[in-house]
Amino acid sequence: MKIHDVTLTISDSIVTFPGDPGVEITRAHSIGKEHDSNLSKVDMGAHTGTHVDAPVHFIKGGAGAETLDLNILVGPAVVIDATKEDVISAATLEKLDIPEGVERVLFRTRNSELWKTQPHKFSEDFVGITGDGAEWLIKKGVKLVGIDYLSIAPYHHAAPTHRALLSVGAIPIEGLDLSAISPGRYFMACLPLKLKGSDGAPARVILIENFDGV
């Protein structure tokens, strides 16, 4: 059994989606005469680094991050090689080798190369899933979709994809680092912070190779 951590490291220099808050990690107090311990303070947006989206992110009156189903967030997943694609549309998905019956699909695209150089500037031409691509996945019974950049949808075309997924309870995972991951089947665990009412939550995500269960 081998565990792959596909989570981005959060730091002051991590790239964020345009318009999102930056990251500030400071010491609220340090070991010294007045304190016996170090204590950090973290100030950042809910969609920083590797994170999940909750329905309320794009659905008015939708549920918050604390309601996300762990039965969807943990289980078998397949990593799909989409490194030759510039967009993941319904037509693209028809030609990709996506096994029947899978509920959790993670797309490794050319986006993953961006994480090899840190820090880097935000890339507007990242690969995302179109609205009709999201509808295709839903019709196939997919309940969780992951991508290796900061939005599941192409830049400036966020609403159709997010609404298609979130309106039916499908969970997007954004900001995965799949740069060292080969296509194939894994056991995935994604545990977002339990933030009440939040439209998203940072998460630690691991893929387990050759998982035999307990």
Residues acting as catalytic residues: 57
DSSP assignment of 110-145: GGGGGGGSSS----TT---B-HHHHHHHHHTT--EE
Residues 6+ apart with CB under 8 A from 91: none
Q: Counting runs of H as helices and runs of E as strands, what totals does the chain give?
A: 4, 10
Give backbone dihedrals phi and psi of 42, rounded to 5 degrees, phi first: -120, 125
Amino acid at 141: G
User: Containing H/E element for 166?
Assistant: helix 158-166
The burial class, CB within 10 Å (0-12 / 13-18 / 19+), for 150 is: buried
